[in-house]
Structure 1
Amino acid sequence: MQNSTPPPTKRSRVDKYLDKVIWLMFALLLAMATLTGVIIGIRTKQDGTDIWYMRPTESNPYYNPQKAAIVGIVGFFNGLVLYGYLIPIALYVSLEVVRVAQALFMINDIEMYDPASDKRARVKSPGLNEELGQVDTIFSDKTGTLTSNQMDFFRCTIQGVSYGKGTTEVERAAEKLGMPLGPSPRDPRPDSTRPTSRTQSVDNAIEVDTESLGPENNPYKEKGFNFYDERLLAGKWVQEKSAESIRFFFEILALCHTAIPEGTPEEPSLMRYRAESPDEAALVVAAKQFGFYFYKRTPTTLHVRESLRPGDPPRDQVYQLLDVLEFSSLRKRMSITVRFPDGRLLLLSKGADSVILQRVDRKRSGPVAETTRHLKLYGEVGLRTLVVAYKVLDEEEYKSWAKRYADARSIIGKERESRTEELAEEIEQGLTVVGGTGVEDKLQAGVPEAVDRLARAGINIWVLTGDKVETAINIGYACSLLRQGMDNLIVSLEGSEARAIEERADREGWSRDKIQEGQKNFVSRKLDDALQLVLNGHVNPRGTSTSERKISVSESLQSALSRSMSTKSSGANLSRNASKNAAGTLTRNLSVTNGRHSRNPSEGKIGVEMLPLVDGQKVGSNGEGLDQREWAISKESALTQSRKGPPAEPTEYALVIDGQSLAYILAETVLQERFLEVCINCNSVLCCRVSPRQKAQVTTLVRKGLGLHRLCLAIGDGANDVGMIQAANVGVGILGVEGAQAAMAGDFAIGQFRFLERLLLVHGRWCYRRISLMILYFFYKVCMMGWIAFYSNIFAYFSGNPLYNDWYASFYNTVFTSVPIVVIGILDQDVTPAEAFRYPQLYQSGQRGELFNFKLILWWLAISLYHSAVIFFFPLAIYSGLSAFRPGGQVAAAQDFGAAMFTVLVLVPNLQIYLAFHYFTWIHHLFIWLSILSWYLFIIVYGALPTSWSTIAYKEFIEVLAPSASYWLLQPLVVMAALLPDLVFRSIKSVYRPSDYQIVIEQSKSKRDSQHQV
């Protein structure tokens, strides 16, 4: 609840832009109506009695020179009514219909149905459909969003000894990419003991054949437990030297939690635990597997059944639960006070290493160094880590504390939370480390492919997670967020340089404010170095102008298409910079911001200028045998090399920053601006150790900083992601295992992260295209009617008398022309889903706003102006020159001209659809021709009604229009005169300046033709 915010009201950028266009059209309407009123007032005054035959009267002020002002005012309001078609009121209704239909297609898309959870996509805000086609930046949670949120206990470290064998998913992904993970180059162990693809125990150089042993073939495996080490399983831990410490470690896992058992105590295999988080449940399951079976909880007791050895009778132990200091995103730890059956009074704690290790008793710290080293290694292979610690409590001190804690909890108001937190902080000091845990959260299926394709679509991807920096980086590689050839810029207060500030502060007795000032200056310096690097000749394409980006994308797309034609394997060659010479990037200038993460063994040798950023010490001048993890080139060297000129192709950058650094950045405007400038030039951003509040703050900062021209999307699965989801332009919730809060807060909801690429690249792109073209077409057809009304009013002495029956105009926007464009708004496809996936670069047209902008609006308005002129003046010229219009020799009356002209006014916009769009099915053809046919049926049926209903349209078609040969000849002539220039222009443009989607369409057609010939 602390992280919750009121749900914001969101409107799409297209809607906001549409409002501006409506205001522009309204201003045009006022100008035209004002002109009409002024002209008719002036003419009435000037003509005077020359038009006496109009017989002006008191009841009819028109043409009365003595009431010219009144005539002008009446003419103004008549103009508002007559030209009111310029304001497309029906457009808003049509847009809502189209958006709801588009939402139904998303909801029922079988490709976005998750059979595992039996959930399909949800659309809560159809008004944001088109926003999905313009996303520039994605903010993603990690746990439960990129990962499956199925936590498995995988490794642990107890009293300085690491246990657990097998290969994590991150290790397998790294090996597949040729980036073996391992310890840092200055790890004290010899090379022979470093983990390889055949996993070894961290402290024991025991090579394990993972094909015969390990988690892949683990008989003890169950949900939440994927641990294998013969030293601990099957009760063999009792034979270890530190058996008592191991026992205590497992007891802490079985007790320090808030999980509730659900099942029968006599059936351990069927017991399930309802916990606040999946990783907490995994730790309780692990304790059960090691012989400490937690089966019952009461408000004051915890019941554990111990089975230390196979065959031994189990023993039920009852522990007295005294207090629970619950976990929160701010505390990053939880503790309980408990009395053991033997009478010992202990505080048991578990939490993030950055929090627990700060509260360790220096005299009785436990195996802190070994545990820290093991947890770092666990993090590097993608495991979520926790430190397990305890404290022996003095009876008298505890009683005093317990009384104060009970009093604090009884306080009503805001003070309660702060007071209980102070007391929790007080008792959670002087801890002793027992060990740590490593829990694996596997990536969801299809995540690496989805991330890669979204990045190739030009989308900047941010991951905001609570994980350690090492864990986040290596998971970033596993999910393709980070990749070879990319320079990683690390801004962290967890490195050796930042720790040097704290050590100096301890030596010199700095105040807290001075420490924070030193850390802030450190972060500021790191951002300066990063900014200098990304702007110093290595400009990222994302930072270029729209026209430059368009040219770049078009060239890459055509190149990809040509390669696809030559290899007949479309899409295979569109990988992001896959062919980049990684070794060549090693010589590029890197900043001192804990630079690049090399994952290629061939890149192990580095020059003398390289400075490792783990220990802050220079390496040997020869650089032999170094498998560097975190290194950079000095600032001076970077500046020197940059003067030699930019590289042949832009460098891809990734920024990795921790929550503590973000806290300083979010507190100062100057640092915020610097941070944004760095991020804009980075392809990926990893924010580690961040709280839910920081997630929302970062999202808000970037959304406001990037302005209206770049759109942000946030995706998450838990309550902690609600603030981030609400802060973004578009929020997407994952229907995961952490509840429905994120899905309820989001504008859209999907079952798996991999569905996001279809939601954006297919549905989002289609929706943006459909809505944009639908709006432009609507303005085109209603403006034609507005211009024609203005032309006719000129010839009607600005009297406001229409050329045609009012019902013609009433049905024009609702029946005669609206249905085809609504169908197109629902069904239009320029490329197929397969082509959208194969060429994700097509998505960037939405980011650049190519389909809905001021130039296109002016273009369509110009077309409407030309078409209206042809539709009005062409028939006028023909009918004015005819001596006879009807077979009986009668000339054309005003209503005859109006009906004939209105026929062409229905034909031209309907047939214009065939020029403006490219995708047609039988449904499109049916509704286009039904709309045209509806006009002829209407004029026949309406004309057959009595004159009291049909007025001037009485038998207009049967007796006047149908028998006239000129009426039928007029229609094709006017249609050709109106549409032919547009056809010629579009044909020339498609040949000499084709759009990206037109290139793809032609390539697909050529490929199909070649296959048919074969």
Structure 2
Amino acid sequence: MAIVLVVGMNAVKEAYEDYKRYKSDRLINNKNCKVIRDGIEVDEKWSRLAVGDIVVVRNNESFPADLVLLSTSGDVSPSICFVETSNLDGESNLKSKQALLETNQQLQSPTDFLTFQAKLQIESPSINLNSFHGVIKLLLTNENEQTDEEEEEVKDNNLNSISTFTTTSTSTYSLTLDQLLIRGTCLSNTDHVYGVVVYGGHQSKYMLNTRHTPYKRSRFDSYVNRILIAVFIFEFFLCLMSSLLGSTRYGRIGDTWYLPLGNDSTQDTLHLFFSFVVLFGGIAPFTMFLSLEFVRILQLITINRDKKMFHYESNSFACGRTSNLNEELGQVEYIFTDKTGTLTRNQMQVKKNMINNVVYQSRFYNSYHNGDNKNLKQSIKDNGNNNNKDKSKEEIELYEEEEEEYLGITMSKLGSSSDIENEMRSSNSSNSSNNINIKEEIDMNDPDTFEFFLALSICHSAIPESIDENGNIKYSSSSPDELALVKESSNMGIKFHTRTTNYLRINVLGIEREYKLLKVLEFDSDRKRMSVIVTHYDSDDIIMYCKGADSVILPRLLDYGDANNIVDLISSYKEHLHRFSCEGLRTLCVTKKIIPRDEYEPWSLKMNAANLLLNGRNERVGELSSEIEHGWSMLGIVGIEDRLQDRVPETIARLSDADIRIWMITGDKQETAINIGISCCLLDPEEDNYLILNETNILELQMKLELNLKQQLENIPQVNNNNSNNIRSIIIDGNTLSLLIGNKNLEDSFYKLANNVKSVVCCRFTPFQKSEVVRIVKERTSGITLAIGDGANDVSMIQRSHVGVGISGFEGRQAVLASDFAIAQFHYLERLVLVHGRWNYKRIATLLCYTFWKSIIISLIELWFNIFTGFSGSNIVDDINTLLLGVVYASVPVIIYGASDKDIDSVNIQNYPSLYKETQSSKNVRIKNVSTTPIFDNLINIYYKLKV
């Protein structure tokens, strides 16, 4: 009966979960979208879209497949649309996409497609979200067949060919990522767009980066199954020996009227064997699985109702989405965390500026930074006014109580207030001793200061989105850095407010100025800079403004002719850059150059020709950009802060104290990742302790890994020494990881090296690569891995790990839907893992040991009774009491214990994270403990019974 109940409950549970997944898949497949058929819009299901279909997507709708953008409604600027990508990369800022002017002008209504024809050649489906290459050939007449030469060209370039749609041009244009609309993203602030399907279904980039939802099973269950196998073997041996001894004894005592013996000894032995199987069947406690299910459900309810993990801004509790993994939280050894939206708020803000060797604190930083708690409490009050004032007051009091308790824990870990004050005085005196000039008031009448903020308002790709009733402009940009820079210049009175294809309009301290856009040299991870070349309509000067990383800006500064002077200047710049970096700020150098017209015009002709190349375009454009990007004058340095979520550094410190290794994985640039790693105390400010892996050659990577691994293993005793020159952190980019994937030897070397450092930061990772780095660790460790993220780009990583945690913030819900547990803020992970994880593991371990102890004790009592009754197969306890003992008397108390026991108070656990190590090792549950303890206890019990 117990077996039927256990199997039945699990079957119903699994069937229900499968049904929910089926409904979810069907809901997505049956979504409708608009496609163009014979010049009119018709409805079509997502599942029936084919490559070459023309799709119409309207504002706030998701793209049903990967599309090449053909035209837009041009609400903000001709041929430009905005895409919201939080479901793909976790970033809330909008990205701009641009259709080709040639297709955008001709395709503004469904009927335009009746006379339009083109041929597309695109690369094969790729998992890389940051790369797309193709060409579009606009045709004069129908060309439904490819020539042999065209087919050979497609094969040589690994391109797929799509024939669709007629135009009056025979030109060929290249397609890049700027024209690709990826499934899973959403159209925003644009009325509608037209696009052609290039990848659909499982060939779309989103689906290629998404793994099927796996069924996760607790390692604890696997361990219990191994114990059960050992128990079954022991039970079989016990039944066999008892039946053989029983039949032997019956042969000696002869015929007895009270024993049901026959004349066939073999039959008697089989009869006794199955009698003992029934008698000793309780050794394998099938009811334990029922108890485990009840306990796990009750534990999940406790997690879901924990007020210490309630987030007031989003009005959400923690949410356990599966009960199978409660105890896994108590054995975590690796945490893989996303950066954007998980560790940080993704809210960039300029904190400091350096102009003419003077550091200015942004006058708008403090008010923005200090307003959060006030706004939070006000939001609670507002909710209370709308619902229940008493409840609002109670929530504020609980929030303040939680803050005081947390600060008490933090101060006890960090030291007394006097210690902190002394450290601050020491820091201030250090700054003073180095003669760093710090001011808060900025003089906009100073020409250099004015030029610095003017550069911030020009050198960007942001677009004004809307203007509120107070005249404040809301900007959209693919880079939150740029938004911060444009807002800073706007706050200083230089307001950028209009962008078209050819010009920018800026309100400069109340005066309208218009700048003609000549060239925009876009930022990429190789160039590490962006340049904009403009000219003012009232001047003949051609000016190039540039912003970028110091590593590429400083070597290209103008040579003033005095070697000592330039060395001193660069040394001064590096000092400021170092100080900004030590504060965890993202640093950008801002420069200016006046280009002579006789230099610009021939260069411009060459650049125009390079942009029309189909092969080698990027390389040629890069070469020409480098030709003109030099001889800059430094305007200043800007320090940008990507604000961390609440309590992130403290949470990481406590998790590290619990012997949990933390890996930060992000799709952002290396510089940004390093700065955030420093801010959240994951990385040390000193770069000498970093090992940066950004190799492009597999042999060089192998040599570098082997050399550093050898050095690291030789100096293991020094790894935890802060004064050691050992590698303490590894920074690896996505291109390097792609060399590792699939190469077992390289994967082994990387894991061994990473396992001997303090922290690992992974940058420029795709969703697939996030999943792969989890796999590399998961396959090579016996510890539990936990992944946490907030966006759709984190889904694969969350699904691959033993335990997945989603952030239920203000971004998309994909990470939450794919997760095992959901929390609103990263700092709640501390309580979820260290407190609930430890409690749950200890409870379930005790339940397991007690249940086996109880079952073995009862069965051994029956064994002793049969020893003294000639192995007759009789039972000393009647069936009803045996059932009550197993199901009620011995189960209900342990269920209550498993759901509510707290061996150590939560505050003490957070104060002393090293307590978590006790559950990481699984020492609470061992086969020898489960088997030897009840046998020893039974022997003592029988000994004293016989003595009495």
Aligned counterpart for 1:247 among listed residues 438, 454, 463: 454
1:463 to 1:126, Cα distance in 2 relative to 1, 3 A: same
Asked whether the 8 Å contact 1:268–1:293 carries over to 2, the reply is no
Asked whether the 8 Å contact 2:352–2:362 carries over to 1, the reply is no
1:42-101: CA deviations, max 9, x gaps?
566x469x427479xxxxxx63324x4344334433333332212221211211221121
Aligned counterpart for 1:447 among listed residues 635, 641, 648: 648
TM-score (norm 2): 0.58
1:234-281: CA deviations, max 9, x gaps?
xx47x33883x863542232xx14x672x4455433x44565564453
- Give the residue type in structure 2 aligned to 1:28: F
The 1-side partners of 2:628 and 2:841 are apart by 57
Aligned counterpart for 2:235 among listed residues 22, 29, 43: 29
- Give the residue type in structure 1 aligned to 2:255: I
- Give the residue type in structure 1 aligned to 2:713: L
Pairs within 5 Å for 1:935-946: none
1:755-795: CA deviations, max 9, x gaps?
22222222111111111101111111122233334445556
Matched, 1:132 2:329: yes
> How far off its partner does 1:828 sit?
0.5
Pairs within 5 Å for 1:625-664: 654-659=728-733
**What is the aligned partner in structure 1 of residue 920 from structure 2?**
847
- Give the residue type in structure 1 aligned to 2:263: P
Asked whether the 8 Å contact 2:611–2:621 carries over to 1, the reply is no
The 2-side partners of 1:402 and 1:681 are apart by 47
1:241 to 1:283, Cα distance in 2 relative to 1, 3 A: closer
The 1-side partners of 2:627 and 2:940 are apart by 84
The 2-side partners of 1:806 and 1:273 are apart by 76
- Give the residue type in structure 2 aligned to 1:309: L
> How far off its partner does 1:748 sit?
2.3
Structure 1 unpaired stretches of 5+:
56-61, 183-193, 214-228, 409-418, 499-511, 541-581, 596-653, 879-976, 978-1014
1:855 to 1:277, Cα distance in 2 relative to 1, 3 A: farther
1:740 to 1:302, Cα distance in 2 relative to 1, 3 A: farther
The 2-side partners of 1:155 and 1:128 are apart by 45
- Give the residue type in structure 2 aligned to 1:136: E
Matched, 1:685 2:759: yes
- Give the residue type in structure 1 aligned to 2:507: S
The 2-side partners of 1:69 and 1:815 are apart by 38
What SS is found at the alignment partner of 2:835?
helix
> How far off its partner does 1:670 sit?
4.9
The 2-side partners of 1:293 and 1:732 are apart by 41
Bigger proportion of residues as helix: 1
Matched, 1:76 2:273: yes
Bigger proportion of residues as strand: 2
**What is the aligned partner in structure 1 of residue 907 from structure 2?**
834
Matched, 1:701 2:752: no
Aligned counterpart for 1:230 among listed residues 442, 445, 448: 442
**What is the aligned partner in structure 2 of residue 456 from structure 1?**
657
- Give the residue type in structure 2 aligned to 1:65: N
> How far off its partner does 1:152 sit?
0.6
**What is the aligned partner in structure 2 of residue 51 from structure 1?**
255
1:742 to 1:155, Cα distance in 2 relative to 1, 3 A: farther
The 1-side partners of 2:759 and 2:522 are apart by 34
Structure 2 unpaired stretches of 5+:
1-205, 370-413, 560-565
Aligned counterpart for 2:262 among listed residues 64, 67, 75: 64
- Give the residue type in structure 2 aligned to 1:282: A
The 2-side partners of 1:457 and 1:782 are apart by 35
What SS is found at the alignment partner of 1:128?
coil
1:247 to 1:723, Cα distance in 2 relative to 1, 3 A: same
**What is the aligned partner in structure 2 of residue 115 from structure 1?**
312
1:802 to 1:277, Cα distance in 2 relative to 1, 3 A: farther
The 2-side partners of 1:24 and 1:302 are apart by 78
What SS is found at the alignment partner of 2:361?
coil
Asked whether the 8 Å contact 1:147–1:441 carries over to 2, the reply is yes
- Give the residue type in structure 2 aligned to 1:444: Q
**What is the aligned partner in structure 2 of residue 14 from structure 1?**
220
**What is the aligned partner in structure 2 of residue 154 from structure 1?**
351
Asked whether the 8 Å contact 1:695–1:721 carries over to 2, the reply is yes
Pairs within 5 Å for 1:527-926: 527-535=709-717, 538=718, 590-591=724-725, 654-659=728-733, 669-670=744-745, 672-682=747-757, 684-687=758-761, 689=763, 691-692=765-766, 695-705=770-780, 707-708=781-782, 710-793=783-866, 800-863=873-936, 865-866=938-939, 869=942, 874=945
**What is the aligned partner in structure 1 of residue 509 from structure 2?**
309
What SS is found at the alignment partner of 2:848?
helix
**What is the aligned partner in structure 1 of residue 211 from structure 2?**
5
The 1-side partners of 2:684 and 2:528 are apart by 33
The 1-side partners of 2:362 and 2:319 are apart by 39
Asked whether the 8 Å contact 2:317–2:824 carries over to 1, the reply is yes
Asked whether the 8 Å contact 1:472–1:686 carries over to 2, the reply is no
Asked whether the 8 Å contact 2:255–2:261 carries over to 1, the reply is yes
The 2-side partners of 1:800 and 1:422 are apart by 86
Q: CA RMSD in A?
A: 5.3
1:295 to 1:104, Cα distance in 2 relative to 1, 3 A: farther
> How far off its partner does 1:379 sit?
2.8
**What is the aligned partner in structure 2 of residue 489 from structure 1?**
689
What SS is found at the alignment partner of 1:96?
helix
1:863 to 1:819, Cα distance in 2 relative to 1, 3 A: farther
> How far off its partner does 1:303 sit?
9.0
Identity percentage of aligned residues: 29
The 1-side partners of 2:554 and 2:775 are apart by 31
Aligned residue pairs, count: 668
Asked whether the 8 Å contact 1:137–1:711 carries over to 2, the reply is yes
TM-score (norm 1): 0.55
The higher radius of gyration belongs to: 1
- Give the residue type in structure 1 aligned to 2:230: L
1:367-420: CA deviations, max 9, x gaps?
999688865654333112457899989777677666677xx9xxxxxxxxxx99
Asked whether the 8 Å contact 1:766–1:828 carries over to 2, the reply is yes
**What is the aligned partner in structure 2 of residue 285 from structure 1?**
487
1:781 to 1:733, Cα distance in 2 relative to 1, 3 A: same
> How far off its partner does 1:425 sit?
7.2
1:288 to 1:784, Cα distance in 2 relative to 1, 3 A: same
> How far off its partner does 1:301 sit?
5.7
